[in-house]
Amino acid sequence: MPAEPADERRSGPLLQHLARRMRLRSESVLTPLGLRVRHLVALTVLRDSGDISQQGLAGTLQIDGTNVVGLLNDLESAGLVERRRSPTDRRRHVVSLTGAGATRIREAECALADAEDEVLGALAPDERELLYDLLRRASQGCAPTCTEAATESPDAC
């Protein structure tokens, strides 16, 4: 047998696992704030990527455009985001975070402290910060639409 038993460890399954645990923990905490997890995900994306069209948001969140409508209806009726018509293309809506939205995100993040403590309890504070930084950069890296990368597939496995 070969010495190395194929060191092909992928983050995918671990990401799924931790995300599930985090989601279950977060839901009960977020409910009193009138938010679902997906709302907070959308708000966070919006905060990190700035103004964006609904189509762009659908691409980033990887959800169907028709479902973006309902998601934004929730957030807009709560005053957390704003839909303005794009001046350059009046078909488009430019979605942006409001001041209230930014505040609500901070409140939610604060409320999530316990959930994060439970799920990431094994990590030291500086490690959690490192994790956050990696996740944020990975998230922004494929922000606009990764879908365009579907063509290239240099599978050298």
Please provide the DSSP assignment of 48-99 as one string.
HH-SEEHHHHHHHHT--HHHHHHHHHHHHHTTSEEEEE-SS-TT-EEEEE-H
The nearest distance, CB 7 to a second copy, in angstroms, is 9
The 10 Å CB-count burial string (b at 16+, else e) for 100-115 is: ebeebbeebeeebeeb
Question: Is 23 a binder of a second copy (CB under 8 A)?
Answer: yes
d(CA 80, CA 36): 13
Exactly one of 30, 40, 93, 105 binds DNA (CB under 7 A); which one? 93
Question: Is 78 a binder of DNA (CB under 7 A)?
Answer: no
Exactly one of 91, 125, 148, 155 binds DNA (CB under 7 A); which one? 91
Question: Is 90 a binder of a second copy (CB under 8 A)?
Answer: no
Question: Is 46 a binder of a second copy (CB under 8 A)?
Answer: no
The 10 Å Cβ neighbour count of residue 138 is 11
Exactly one of 18, 54, 55, 83 binds a second copy (CB under 8 A); which one? 18
Residue 149 interacting entry, from DNA, a second copy, none, C-beta within 5 to 8 Å by type: a second copy
What one-letter code names the amino acid at 36? R
List residues near a second copy by CB under 8 A.
5-6, 8-24, 26, 37-38, 40-41, 43-45, 61-62, 106, 109-116, 118-123, 127-128, 130-132, 134-142, 146, 149, 153, 155, 157
